[in-house]
Amino acid sequence: MMVDEIRLRQSPVLTENRGKLISLSAVNEQRQKDQVQGDNTIKELKVKVRDFSFYYGSKQALQNINMQIAPNEVTALIGPSGCGKTTFLRTINRMNDLIPGTKVEGEVVVSGQNIYQPAVDVVELRRKVGLVFQQPNPFPKSIYENVAYGPKIHGKKKKTLLDELVENSLQQAALWDEVKDRLKDSALSLSGGQQQRLCIARVLAVKPEVILMDEPTSALDPVATQRIEDLIRQLSMDYTIIIVTHNMQQAARISDFTAFFLLGDLVECGKTSQIFTNPKDTRTEEYITGRFG
């Protein structure tokens, strides 16, 4: 038995992920060839970030980031406040475009498309790459309308189709049973945890490929947090998920890969098991053991 594996067996937070983590080492090797072996097919990497830098005006917030993310994985972004996690997350669906005076260098490729090329349809990009915010932010509309909103914008008008999409999305977000009899109620009448699952359903309704989540449980109690964590593991079967978290246990519980950011640099990115048991960089070790941050 390898040392890594022994550590993994002893680590309660990682035990549940052990089978998946070990099988992912093969995936990691394939990544270097820009492809991953799926069950029967060779799949493209879902997100490739190359020599990427980001500026707010003259202030550089990200420096020369390189990262590769295969499909159907959960990647956790960790690091102290102000290190650029949110900035990085938001570059993956060009959400930062909305902030005047920002500038990017390098490439972000999503499903084979360089998303910073001028011809890219940003509305379509944001359908493909959905974002769940830290604070649940449902629209002041009914539960049904919150979920139907995105599909309507993307041209889906038929009621039977919308009904089906709303039900499926709420099912997938593990909220359907709690709201099926009150779809016309205001979304604002839901609890914080339910609102966050509604926001996830809203993203799912437009059939994304990648889901970005910025500290999605930081405003929630432990029970609601657990439900979202379970949901994230479940959704990773069908989606590629990138999640920012300040909670080390959460990163260890739910992610396959972990990326540690510090002062705009990506210090280290690797299998979650490796980052938490055997980090390569002393700064990573200091951060995950709580010595700063």
Ligand X SMILES: Nc1ncnc2c1ncn2[C@@H]1O[C@H](COP(=O)(O)OP(=O)(O)OP(=O)(O)O)[C@@H](O)[C@H]1O
Look up residue 12 and give its amino acid. Answer: P
Q: Per rule CB under 6 A, is residue 103 in the interface with ligand X?
A: no
* Pairing relationship of beta strands 102-110 and 47-56 according to DSSP bridges: antiparallel
> What are all long-range contacts of 35-44, with beta carbons under 8 Å and residues at least 24 apart?
36/70, 36/71, 38/71, 43/70, 43/71, 44/71, 44/111, 44/112
From the CB of 59, what's the least distance to ligand X, in Å? 6
What binding mask, one character per residue, do residues 36-75 give for ligand X by CB under 6 A, x or -? --------------------x--x-x--------------
Nearer to ligand X, 270 or 293 (CB): 293
Nearer to ligand X, 172 or 258 (CB): 258
What binding mask, one character per residue, do residues 229-258 give for ligand X by CB under 6 A, x or -? ------------------------------
Binding-site size, ligand X (CB under 6 A): 12
The partner in contact with residue 253, picked from ligand X, Mg ion, none with C-beta cut-offs of 5 to 8 angstroms by kind, is: none
Most distant pair of Cα atoms in the chain: their distance: 57
Q: What whole-number distance in Å separates Cα of residue 263 and Cα of residue 83?
A: 4
Nearer to ligand X, 45 or 266 (CB): 266
Report whether 209 contacts 128 (CB < 8 A).
Answer: yes
Contact with ligand X (CB under 6 A): which of 68, 86, 195, 277?
86
Nearer to Mg ion, 26 or 99 (CB): 99
Q: Tokens representing 284?
A: 């990573």
Nearer to ligand X, 59 or 154 (CB): 59
Nearer to ligand X, 178 or 265 (CB): 265
Contact with ligand X (CB under 6 A): which of 8, 24, 83, 175?
83
The partner in contact with residue 216, picked from ligand X, Mg ion, none with C-beta cut-offs of 5 to 8 angstroms by kind, is: none
Residues at the contact surface with ligand X, assessed by CB under 6 A: 56, 59, 61, 79, 81-87, 99
